[in-house]
């Protein structure tokens, strides 16, 4: 006998979605939200993920992959008959998501801050009837960031200007109105490009004008290597450069359980430079 019932939800774009609860065939179009579904205990319910959903590793090898976050295979998604698709405003292409909306229930997250991330985790837990698990994850994340706040105090006093690199040719950074920017502030850093918005391209002149104390070279979406560090060091001879784990700064699901401890390591490393 089917125990599903229909319920109305509102996603983070303010859209109303009618869902059969609990969903039994879930497709995740967002790597960080895929990892969250794993931590919520939804191994049987998740039927499709993207080729970038590398955590957990066994899902990457066993779940049906439905393309990349911005290049979805609509026919593969149709063949899976999902009763819930989890998407994200920034990570997925609007035209493809709108196409999917015509056929399936799509819940869209829009995450710019830690608060947005915790709200997303709560509602994904509520929708999948894993509310207690979601609340436990949220509680642990909050405790970790409370501890990080203490670690960040000496950094705040130093007013360390940091640039967070996400792309090469052209150079691109995470500026204001991004989740990465919120993470930088929680570490106590001043975003050297905080007066700009989203993910601007940075010219050599802009680098020289900004004069960041520290440049963080991320592992994703572009995998920075020592040769890229050398190219930037020629422009910014006095800046210190550190390679960082991009997942810790940009994944806004259950990866946040690990982020505060990782940020403490980054803070410690910078303090020793």
Share of the chain above pLDDT 70, in %: 99
Mean pLDDT, range 176-203, rounded to an integer: 97
- The pLDDT value recorded for residue 177 is 97
The answer on pLDDT for 1 being more than 50 is no
- Residue range 101-128: mean pLDDT, rounded: 98
Region 86-109: what's the mean pLDDT? 97
The mean pLDDT of 142-171, rounded to a whole number, is: 95
- In the chain the domains, ranked by start, together with CATH numbers, are 5-110 (3.40.50.1980), 148-271 (3.40.50.1980)
pLDDT higher than threshold 80 for residue 236: yes
| Average pLDDT score over the chain | 96
pLDDT band, very low/low/confident/very high, at 2 (cuts 50, 70, 90): low
3-61 pLDDT, tens digit each? 678 999 999 999 999 999 999 999 999 999 999 999 999 999 999 999 999 999 999 99
Confidence grade of residue 128 (pLDDT, cut at 50, 70, 90): very high
Segment 149-158 shows an average pLDDT of 90
**Tokens encoding 233:** 């060091």
């Amino acid at each position: 006998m089917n125990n599903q019932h229909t319920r109305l939800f509102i996603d983070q774009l303010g859209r109303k979605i009618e869902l059969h609860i609990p969903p039994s065939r879930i497709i995740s179009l967002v790597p960080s939200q895929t990892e969250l579904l794993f931590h919520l205990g939804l191994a049987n319910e998740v039927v499709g993920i993207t080729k970038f959903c590398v955590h957990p590793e066994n899902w990457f090898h066993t779940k049906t992959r439905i393309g990349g976050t911005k290049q979805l295979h609509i026919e593969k998604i149709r063949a899976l008959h999902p009763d819930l698709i989890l998407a994200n405003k920034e990570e997925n292409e609007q035209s493809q998501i709108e196409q999917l909306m015509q056929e399936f229930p799509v819940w869209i997250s829009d995450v710019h801050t830690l608060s947005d991330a915790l709200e997303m985790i709560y509602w994904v837990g509520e929708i999948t009837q894993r509310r207690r698990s979601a609340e436990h994850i949220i509680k642990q994340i909050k405790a970790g960031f409370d501890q990080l706040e203490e670690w960040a105090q000496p950094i705040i006093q130093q007013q360390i200007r940091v640039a967070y690199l996400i792309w090469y040719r052209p150079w691109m950074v995470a500026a204001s109105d991004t989740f990465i920017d919120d993470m930088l502030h929680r570490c106590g850093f001043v975003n050297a490009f905080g007066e700009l918005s989203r993910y601007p391209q940075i010219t050599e002149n802009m680098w020289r004008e900004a004069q960041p104390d520290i440049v963080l070279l991320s592992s994703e979406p572009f995998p920075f290597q020592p040769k890229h560090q050398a190219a930037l060091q020629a422009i910014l001879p006095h800046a210190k450069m550190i390679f960082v784990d991009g997942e810790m700064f940009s994944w806004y699901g259950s990866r946040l359980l690990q982020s505060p401890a990782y940020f403490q390591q980054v803070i410690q490393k910078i303090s020793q430079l």
